[in-house]
Amino acid sequence: MINQPSFNGSKPSETPSWLSIIKKYNKPDLKKSIWQIINSLGPYVLLWYLMYLSLGISYWITLGLAFLAAGFMVRIFIIFHDCGHGSFFRSQRTNKIVGTLLGSLVFTPYDKWHGDHAIHHSTVGNLDKRGVGDVWTLTVEEYIKLPLARRLLYRFYRNPVFLFGIAPLLSFLLLSRVPRRSMGKPEQQSVYITNIIVALFTVGLGLLIGFKAFLMIQLPIIFIASSAGVWLFYVQHQFEDVIWSRQDIWDYKTMALKGSSFLKLPRILQWFSGNIGFHHIHHLSPMIPNYHLEQCHREITQFEPIKPITLFPGLRTMKLRLWNEQLEKLMSFKDLRKLSTSST
């Protein structure tokens, strides 16, 4: 479970209204949680079966259904994500059991992923604590000092084709299968347990419908879902008005509100992504279940000035590559060239 950070700086009698509202939403609703599992997992299984049937008709139909199935896989991942925060059920045992099972469906070890994710929540936007659970981001000064080979490696990593096309598959299908020596025992065990469940799922369905058919169905789903999921994670902390800071002035509440985006998606995409676009609220309080995030945002009037990012401006954030500490903003390689030209 990822612990919720405490909010300091206010005496009980001076508790701001937004904090009292957040406390109201800091608990799961069992009926809503169960219904969300049903309306996410049920359609996913049905679509998986329809994709199998479509193989005998046209693979184009199969691929079309894969986009819908991928949407439900993203939604299942959000439930898995909430379980790790301890926000989906009151019982932490239930959170872990459900999270482990759903995590196996999205090829992600429960304790391993949430261990990294806990670090992400406690260090987001902190320039002195980068490297775990986030997207590799260099400052302009760090990039300029790199040897040519490392610069090329960084450019390759930040290229959208790799970052949103190749890296997601590598992460979910390969890297998530391998335990690290630096992991604690629970994290290592979660990798082994997930690998066993994934193996049983793969071999069982492979023997039932054929391994070729299994791959023709599962690979497009995981490719689309993981690419979409990585982009969602990326735009949550890599956008034009984001703030980053050094440790000496880093503040959790400020970073939650200004270092995490409010991604305003079309209603259908918001549903598939489990309201994770209200990421500023999620970072302010990870204990809020995803189905409460929008209502919590609406109820806190202090958040009205927060500028939302819509879909197409969100896609344009993919050009951002480096953090400029002097200008305090993310910039593209093109911006860096212009800056270098103007300074010479």
Give domain status of residue 204, yes or no.
Answer: yes
Task: Give the pLDDT confidence of 211-259 residue by residue, as tens digits.
Answer: 999 999 999 999 999 999 999 999 999 999 999 999 999 988 888 888 9
Indicate the burial class of 201 (C-beta count within 10 angstroms; 0-12, 13-18, 19 or more): middle
Close Cβ partners of 337 (under 8 Å, ≥ 6 residues apart)? none
Task: Give the pLDDT confidence of 38-60 residue by residue, as tens digits.
Answer: 999 999 999 999 999 999 999 99
Give domain status of residue 65, yes or no.
Answer: yes
Supply the pLDDT for residue 303.
67
Supply the pLDDT for residue 257.
84
Give domain status of residue 19, yes or no.
Answer: yes
* Mean pLDDT, range 174-193, rounded to an integer: 92
Task: Give the pLDDT confidence of 257-312 residue by residue, as tens digits.
Answer: 889 999 999 999 999 999 999 999 999 999 999 999 999 998 886 666 788 999 98
Give domain status of residue 197, yes or no.
Answer: yes
Give domain status of residue 297, yes or no.
Answer: yes
Task: Give the pLDDT confidence of 83-103 residue by residue, as tens digits.
Answer: 999 999 999 999 999 999 999
Domain range spanning residue 56? 12-124+158-237+252-308
Give domain status of residue 233, yes or no.
Answer: yes
Would you say residue 79 has pLDDT above 90? yes
Backbone angles phi, psi at 286, to 5 degrees: -65, -10
Give domain status of residue 115, yes or no.
Answer: yes
Supply the pLDDT for residue 138.
95
Tell whether pTM > 0.85: yes
Supply the pLDDT for residue 31.
97
Q: What whole-number distance in Å separates Cα of residue 126 and Cα of residue 250?
A: 6
Would you say residue 154 has pLDDT above 90? yes
Q: What whole-number distance in Å separates Cα of residue 129 and Cα of residue 137?
A: 11
Supply the pLDDT for residue 306.
80
Give domain status of residue 70, yes or no.
Answer: yes
234 close to 309: Cβ distance less than 8 angstroms: no
The total of structural domains in the chain comes to 1
277 close to 265: Cβ distance less than 8 angstroms: yes
Would you say residue 8 has pLDDT above 70? no
Choice between 313 and 215, residue whose per-residue pLDDT is larger:
215
